[in-house]
Amino acid sequence: MGMKRNFSVLVITGPLVGGLLLSLSGCDYWPPALQTEIDTLRAELNDALDDRQQLDQTFAELKLAHASLQHTVAEKDRENHALSLRLSAQFQPAHRPSQANPAPHPVANAPRTFVTKGPFTSLQLEHPHLRGSQIVQVQRLLRRHRLPLNIDGIYGPDTAAAVRWFQRKHDLPADGVVGPTTYRALRGTEKTARLVRQLRLSRPPLAGQDVLIVQRTLRRAGYRVRVDGHFGPETDVAITRFQRKHGIEPDGMVGPQTWAALMLKR
């Protein structure tokens, strides 16, 4: 007598994964191999779903990081643009003639020389630079006010910058022109600052103990700056932000006003 097996109609109820049906019903005979294959496919499907969820989360995090980086790059571009403008203005001195006492136009490539005789003549930055004993006198007065300056008798960019710094400290128009009012103020006895020298972005960068003091003070005030004793672009940006926060003209230069505000943070 032969063995008899009963089979019922196969009913499809499960989802299709990879072309294979995952569940069967109405079957009297369930081969173990088929059950094992179905369980394996279900496990692989769950793993794939978990991987997809992790990938979606990683993608969302990358999108947020990309947006943050774009914002940082845009901010750095604005700072670099402002820095480039300051560098251009610093290394290309402006010609500002005095309206009160206009100096005669020099002959091209002919040096201008002044000798102190009679009334004081206004001095300003010109090309070629003014030279003479009157400029030596002004430079000595600036040095007496503790402004770092070489006494060479040449009214160059350094002398003009020292004059503008002195004028701002004494509430004078900071035009870099030494006229009668500025000259009288220079002859006064008040010392303007205890800062050894004016600090600003230059090529090559200024370096020294005074730069270290500025950088350490900025770090204590919460500004991100490398303390290396060199006044580079990073220090210039930090000084500009410090000045803007404390209501000082954001020119990136450490003059008496900025120095005094920094000393309050020490």
Query: Could you please report the per-residue DSSP string of 226-254?
Result: --SSB--HHHHHHHHHHHHHTT----S-B
Q: Fold match between 112-186 and 209-263?
A: yes
Q: By C-alpha distance, which of 229, 236, 222, 228 is closest to 265? A: 222
Please say whether the beta carbons of 207 and 229 come within 8 A: yes
Architecture of domain 209-263: Orthogonal Bundle (1.10)
256: pLDDT strictly greater than 60: yes
| pTM of the model as a whole | 0.33
Chain position carrying tokens 């001195």: 93
pLDDT for position 99: 46
Instruction: Return all residues near 138 (Cβ < 8 A) that are at least 6 apart.
Output: 123, 155, 159, 163, 178, 183, 186
d(CA 220, CA 133): 45
pLDDT one-digit tens code per residue, 94-134: 444 444 444 444 444 444 444 344 455 678 878 888 888 88
pLDDT for position 86: 67
d(CA 143, CA 141): 5
Q: Where are the domains of the chain?
A: 8-92, 112-186, 209-263
d(CA 181, CA 108): 30
pLDDT for position 105: 46
Q: Which neighbouring-strand residues pair with 20?
A: 17
pLDDT one-digit tens code per residue, 193-244: 456 678 989 889 999 888 999 999 999 999 989 999 999 999 999 999 999 9
CATH of 112-186, one of 1.10.760.10, 1.10.101.10, 2.40.50.100, 2.60.120.200: 1.10.101.10
Instruction: Supply 11's token pair.
Output: 């009913």
Q: Which neighbouring-strand residues pair with 8?
A: none
